[in-house]
Chains A and B, each alone.
Chain A
Amino acid sequence: MTPILELSNIRGGYGTIDVLHGVNLKLEAGQVHALLGPNGAGKTTTLGICSGQIVPSGGQLLISGREVNGVGSDSLARAGVCLVPEGRGIFPNLTVTENLRMFTHAGTSMSEVQDKAFSQFPRLKERRKQIAGTMSGGEQQMLAMSRALAVNPSLLLLDELSMGLAPLIVEELYERVAELAADGISILVVEQFAQAVLGVSTVASIMLHGRITRTGPPAEIAEELTEAYLGGTTH
Chain B
Amino acid sequence: MSNTETTPSARLQEFQGEVDAMKVDGGKANPERTWLILGSLLMIAGIVLSLVAWLTLQGSGKGAKTEDLVAMGNFGLVLAVVGAALFIVMSLRRYFRFWLVRLIFEQREAADRIAGK
Contact = CB atoms under 8 A, between A and B. Distances in A.
Interface of A: 1, 4, 12, 14-17, 28-32, 39-40, 54-58, 63-64, 66-71, 75-76, 78-80, 152, 154-155, 178, 181-182, 184, 186, 200, 202
B61 interface: no
Contacts of A1: 3, 6, 8
A15 B23 CA distance: 23
Given A70-B24, A79-B22, A182 B15 contact: no
Contacts of B29: 12, 54-58
Contacts of A70: 24-28
Q: Interface on chain A toward B: helix, strand, loop, or mixed SS? A: loop
Contact of A69 (B11, B26, B30): B26
6 A-B pairs with least C-beta separation: A70-B27, A30-B3, A57-B29, A154-B15, A55-B27, A79-B18
Given A16-B30, A57-B30, A79-B19, A184 B24 contact: no
The size class of the interface chain B forms with chain A is 20 to 34
B97 to A, nearest CB: 5
A17 B97 contact: yes
A40 B19 contact: no
B25 A181 contact: no
Contact of B108 (A40, A56, A66, A182): A40
